[in-house]
Every structure is written in structure tokens, then in C-alpha cells.
Structure 1
Amino acid sequence: MTSKAPIPYPLDEVEVVQATRTDLIERTWLNNKAEWGKDTNLDAYLDRERHLQSQDLTRDGGIKTWIVVPRQRANPGSDKDVDPETILSALETFERPAWIARKEDGQVHEVLAISIASVFTPEKFRSYGYGSFLMKAIWQKAKEMGAEVSYLYSDVGPNYYGRLGWTVHRSDELIIPVSTTFPETWVSPSSSSTNTVQDKDLEAILTRDAELLKAELVGRLNSNSNSNNGSMDKDTTVLAALVPEPNCVRWLHARASFVGERILNKADKITDLGVVSVEDQDQFVLWYHDLLHDQLTLIRTRFKADQPGQARALIERAVDEARKWGLSKVVAWNHDPLLEQWTGLQGVTRSSTLPSLGLCQEKDAGKKVEWILNNYYAWC
């Protein structure tokens, strides 16, 4: 049996600092390229990361990079003297608006959510506890920042982050191949018409969507308070939802456009961000062109149960968009259950990119949390 090499830096001699120096931030990208950019030209990969950090979602501190490094003797807590070669582990945090609804006060509160992404430890520094050390520190920093919710998407199964505070939630997806023939029982959309969604339309669509979501959360609170058999226990369940807002859609669109133009050298530009019903603008589909994974991913959808023809028109437009870009399928995360009934397709449970969420503050310790609207718009 091969013995484990001595730990490069004992855990009591390392610290977590925010990387503000450009060379340190870009070193974290170079490190994680082995995982998330292995088939991408180095210059294009770095340019993509710079591009994504310049979006409305991420500029002005919207994204932060955190690194584990040997403790800085002269400037503890600072990245001033950090050697890029000694970045032991790293991650990024995004600050997002969220809602929390608690049964005990019957209110929906707007709160800060911290999204965690790009968690990566260079291979030579793995198995020494640096990743767990970083995650524990970030959990504490999220609390200190006043965040009430933190979430991430796990590619290492449900247990690693689960023991650190982030519990796996629903992770279903519905796959609609572009070759799908929809059942005759799904009402014909012949009388329904749709318009494409452009950037200028996002504000109105998502402002209205957020209003409806907030009202739905209030309705959930009232419904459960009037029922002895409601699923929401008074003292132990919290409803949490990421607020739908344009910047998350724009960030994903910026990512897709860069991949199409710079990495895949597509001649056409991505212009359509989704479709909305002409007859009822509360019904819509927003999508993300995931060109590297051969799919059009539905970021956010809103349908009405009594208007299946509207839903069919919107989904058929999504299928058309996927086909236009040479993609083989349309994918919806944690989809509206009506889609299975309408399309005749069955959802599956993902084994990777598992949505994981936890409540950060002590007042919610021990409570269960239900993640409402756990759709792709939350991913980053």
C-alpha cells in the first residue's frame, strides 16, 4: 500500500482570504481549466472567464473569489503577499436576491443568498482537507454577511456537501428530444401565438413573474395555516426561493454567446432568449443555449393548467429553437409536473449537478427547508 505524502501545509497554518489580485484570480481559472475547460483553447477559456466577470450579475463585487493559502505572517487575512503557486483550494461566490417565507410570522422576506461555484482543489493538494476547510469558512462568511440562504450544485454526489450544511434538493429533469411527436391528447396550439423574448423584454416578464411567485409563497403560507394536514410544519419548515431577475438570464446568455462565437466559431449570433404567449404574457419560456452539452435548457417557465394549448405553442417554439441550433434536445430542470402529463414524457433524476441548499442563520437551525422554483435560472 502506498502511504500518503505528508501534508504540504497543516490546517492550523492555513487561512481563507478573498483574492482581489488579477493574477491570483486568473491562477484559479488556470487551475480549474483541467476540470471545466479541458477541451477549450487556453486564451478563449481565460477570455470567457473575464467576460463572465464583467456582466451585470458579477461586476462590482457580485462575484468574489476565495482561496485557501498558507497563513500570511506579515498581512494575515490579505492576499497582498500570496504566492499563486500556493493556492491550495478555491471557489467563487455570487450574491443573489432570495425570498424566505416562515410559517411563524406569515411573511415573505427578501434576503441575501450566496451561491457557490467553481469549487476546485488542484490535484497535488487533494485529500488533505483543504476543500472542506474552505467550505466551512465560506459557510461562516455567508453568516457574517447576513445571508440567510446558501446554495450550490454538487458534482461529487449528495454526501460531501451535505455534511457541511448544503442539503440536496429535488434534482429531476425532463428531456424533450427534438424528434418528439407530441400526443394528440395535448391540445393543438393552432389558436395560440407567441412572440420571441429579447433582452429588452426581460424586465417586464420577470418583474411580473416575481410578483406572481411572491403571491404564490403567501398563498402557500395561508393554505398551510388553514389546514391541519398541510405539508408545512409551523416550527420546522421554511420556504426558500431565488428571485427571478434579468441579470441571471443575461449572464447565462453572455456565456452561451461567447461559446457560440469564440469557442465554436458559429456564424450566427444568439438573439432570442425565449418566447412569450401573445394572448397571456404571464405564460412564457426562457432558455439557455447550452451548445457544449448539445441541449437547449429551459431557464424558467410559467404555464397555466387550464391552457395547455398555450403551453404546447411555447414548448414547440423551444423545440424549433433547439433544432435551429443543431441541438438534439430541450431540457427542463425540476419541471412543471403538467409537462409530463401533456407531453407523454417522463422525467428522470439527475446523478450530477445536484442542487443543494442550506439555511445559514442560527434562527433557522434545525428547520427543514423547501426550495421553491428550483429551476436552472439559479445555476451559475
Structure 2
Amino acid sequence: MKLVEANLPPSDSSKLGLCEQTFEEKIRIWKLNGKSWSGRLSVEEYLGREEHLGNQDLTRDGSITYWLLTDLSKNPNERPILSSCESLKKRVLVKQHDQGVEEVVSFGIMSVFCDPALRGRGYAARMMKELGEKLDYRGQKHERKTQFTILYSDIGKTFYAKNGWEPYVSSHVSLPPVKQPNGMKPLHCRPLYASDLAALCGKDESMLKRSMHHARPPTGVAQVAIIPDKATMSWHHAREDYVAQRVLGRTPKVRGALVRCLDGSRVWCFWSRFFGNESTEGNILNILRLVIEAEATEQSLPSAQAVGSTSPSVNNQEHVEAMQAILQAAQLEAAQWNMGAVRMWNPSPLILQAAKKLDSSSQLTHRQEDSIASLRWHDDTTHPTDWIEWMANEKYAWC
């Protein structure tokens, strides 16, 4: 019997509740959502990818939880799959008003799915309501409340906002792949590999903490950031490698690029490749994280807003040239992997300037439907976009 023909409880039924999936239910759910999300992978390959991603440094030891909205009066493995999602533990930084920078536990919500046959019945909204309550105190010490959680909406800005996750600015700039440099005299740009992740991510994390510590946001404004650590970057690369091996028979080695400026500071980025459907246009080389180091002050410029700021110790023009060299390295890499574009999320004015030097037609695109960065502040019901600045809101934080 089809689910729509079954005698399912309404979304406001007291029989319904959110629980963790059994292994068998997890496989059933992957087979369901794989019809929409497997891309170029077979069903079995897609199941293997999800299992693989659940066994990374970022996701091991209970860091990822698989949730199910169901009829709790039914037995496990026999109960209906009404809606499902996952929550992923994340290390984050929070600075509230005049307080110091604090590292706490947060969660990213991902893989929100409802069988197309059951959509429009309120099950997903019920699940999100209960999930918010489940995450209020999950993983916290001393009975403290979770401060915020995030998700990335692929269904526009309205549904999740109604359920407590407010949309933030979600923009990007795209560049075409190129097979040859554009004739400029670039700064020396060296490739980055997996072996570079630990040192550079560690440096990035310490600079981000220091930058937030020294920041003086307006009165009443708080700052938050997802920590761009090695485990997070490696999770993206594990996803990339798994798909590349199965659709192309090879895996990437180059993970980014780095330029050392004349003032001794470094500019670097890490990237990952997304393999869409068969068309080249669906393949994207995403800049996960772009960092400008200012060694004289031991501060980085960690977000779209901050990178665009000026500082006596920062030579903006040289940093534009460095970013130009890095973006061109990404374009060259994209061409080698048959990518349709290079994409950078929430670029700063300096990054846009560098992009336009490479392609005068490049412009900022504001997404309205897909990958909408959204945040819920669990300590307050007011709109977080009014008073919380999301620092370093770049692709690496996506889940």
C-alpha cells in the first residue's frame, strides 16, 4: 500500500515524534532521497557515499545524528517515514556584546527530506519544530542552551524562516574555467595539498579567533562563525574524492592555492569540486575558504565584510593581485577537471575586484532559492539577522 493511501496520522497528532533512525530505516531513507540527490551515482554508489561521509573525522563518534519523524506508536523498522533529516555537530565561535570570544558546540542541519508523496501535509514543518527543541540543549555542558544552529535551504527563504531559521545574504561570484593564463604577470602561486590542511587551517582558526576578539561591533550586535578546521575541509574533500573516483576513475590532488605577498603575509584558499549531472555546466569548483593573513597584526580578514576593510598593515592592491593569482589558479584547475565554473560565496569587494580583473563580465549573484544560508538563535525569538553578524559565511560551512 502506498503511503498516501495508508491511514497516516495528521501532522499535529500526539502519536508523532522525532527519534533517531535505526540502521534499516537509514538505508530506506537514503534510497528514497537518493532518487533526487544521487546525481551521477548509482543507487548503490550513493548509499556508499553517505556511509563514507558518516565515517569521517567530522562525523565520527556520534557527531552526526540521523533523525526521523514517525508514528512513535509503531515498532522500529515498521513505522512510517514521514520526514527525515540529519544534524552535524560543529565547532563554532560566539562573541556576544562586550564578552570575549567563546568556542561552543553548534549544529548544522542537512539532508532535510520528505517523500514527494507526503509533501504538503505539514510533516516537514512538524519535524523542524521538534528538531529545534531537540537541539536546544544537545551536546551542551552545564545545562546551557545551544546558542545557534544553521542550515542551507534549497527551497527558498520562506519555509525555514517560518520554522525559526532566518535567511542570511547568500551571494556568489562565478568565473569561467580557462586553459591558459590571461597574460598578466601573476604573483608566484603554489598549489596546496591535503598535507597543507592541518597547518593552514590551524593558522586560520587562530586568526579568526583573534580577529573576533579585537572586533568592535556596534552595541547590541553579536558575532558568530563556524570554525574552518581541518576536519571540515577534509569532509568536503572526502565527498569530492568519492564521487570523482566513481564518475571519472581518478581523484584530485590539488586542494587549493597559496601566494606569499611582498609584505610577508600570505593569501590562500582551499577548494573542492562538485560533480553535477552529465553536463559540464553542472560541475562547479567551489572556493571553500579564502584567507588573507596580515602577519604584522596577527589578524586575518575572515568574512566578506572584514576582507573589504582597510588596515594600515594591509596592502589592499597587493592582496587583490594575490587573490587574482589564486582565482586564476582555480580557473586553470577547473578547466583540467571539466568544471563549468569557479564559484566563491559571499565575496568581499576586494575579491570582486580581483574577479573583474580576470573576467570583466563577472558580477555578484544573489541566490533566492538554493543554498540559502540560514541561522536560528536558540536563546531568543527575535530575528537573528537584525543583530547577529555571521562571520566567514563561506562555502566551507555548508553541510
- Structure 1 residues 100 and 325, CA gap change in structure 2 (3 angstroms): same
Residue in structure 1 matching 2:83, options 72, 84, 89: 89
Determine the C-alpha separation between the residues in 2 that align with 1:361 and 1:337.
33
Matched position secondary structure for 1:86: coil
| Range with greater deviation from structure 2 (209-218 or 321-330) | 209-218
Q: 5+ unaligned residues in a row in structure 2: which ranges? A: 141-145, 277-281, 293-313, 357-361
2:285 partner amino acid:
L
Q: 1:251-304: per-residue Cα shift (whole Å, max 9, x none)?
A: 111111111111x1x243211111122455631011011122311100001246
| 1:206 and 2:195 correspond | no
- 1:302–1:346 CA distance, 2 compared to 1 (3 A): same
Q: Root-mean-square deviation (CA), in Å?
A: 2.3
Q: Using the alignment, how far apart are the partners of 2:125 and 2:73 within structure 1?
A: 20
Q: Flag the 1:247–1:86 CA change in 2: closer, same or farther, 3 A.
A: same
Q: Is the 8 A contact 1:239 1:372 kept in 2?
A: yes
Tell which deviates more after alignment, 87-96 or 346-355.
346-355
Amino acid at match of 2:161: G
Percent identity, aligned pairs only? 25
Q: Spell out structure 1 runs of 4+ moving beyond 4 A.
A: 4-7, 179-184, 278-281, 364-367
Q: Does the 8 A contact of 2:166 with 2:383 survive in 1?
A: no
Determine the structure 1 residue equivalent to 2:123: 130
CA 1:205 to 1:106, structure 2 compared with 1: closer, same or farther past 3 Å?
same
Secondary structure of the structure 2 residue equivalent to 1:374: coil
Which residue matches 1:71?
72
Q: Deviations over 1:55-87 (max 9, x none)?
A: 1111111111000111237xxxxxxx3135611
Partner of 1:377: 396
User: In the alignment, which residue of structure 2 is the partner of 1:178?
Assistant: 177
Aligned with 2:159: secondary structure? coil
Structure 2 matches for 1:1-380, cutoff 5 A? 8-10=8-10, 11-19=13-21, 21-37=22-38, 39-72=40-73, 81-84=75-78, 86-103=80-97, 105-145=98-138, 146=140, 147-179=146-178, 188-190=184-186, 192-221=187-216, 224=217, 232=218, 234-235=219-220, 237-262=221-246, 264=247, 266-279=248-261, 280=264, 282-292=266-276, 293-303=282-292, 305-307=316-318, 308-344=320-356, 345-351=362-368, 352-362=370-380, 368-380=387-399
In structure 1, C-alpha distance between the alignment counterparts of 2:392 and 2:114, rounded to whole Å: 31
1:114-136 C-alpha deviation (Å, 9 max, x unpaired): 10000011123222211111101
Tell me how far apart the structure 1 counterparts of residues 42 and 182 of structure 2 sit (CA, whole Å). 44
CA offset at residue 33 of structure 1? 1.2
TM (norm. structure 1) is 0.86
Query: 1:148: Cα distance to partner?
Result: 1.3
Amino acid at match of 2:283: D
Aligned to 1:109, the other structure's residue is in SS state strand
Q: For 1:103-160, what per-residue CA distance to the aligned partner results, in whole angstroms no more than 9, with x for missing partners?
A: 1x33111111110000011123222211111101111111121321111011111111
Structure 1: runs of 5 or more not aligned? 74-80, 225-231
What TM-score results when the alignment is normalised by the length of structure 2? Answer: 0.82
Distance in 1 (CA, whole Å) between partners of 2:231 and 2:185 is 31
CA distance in 2, matches of 1:158, 1:294: 24
Residue type of the partner of 2:197?
L
Task: Give, in angstroms, the shift of residue 39 of structure 1.
Answer: 4.8
* Separation in structure 2 between the aligned mates of residue 310 and residue 38 of structure 1, nearest angstrom: 35
Taking structure 1 as reference, are residues 281 and 249 closer, same or farther at Cα in structure 2, changes over 3 Å only? farther
Question: Conserved in 2, the CA contact under 8 Å of 1:195 and 1:278?
Answer: no
Secondary structure at 2:59 match in 1: coil
* Counterpart AA for 1:12: S
Total equivalences in the alignment = 350
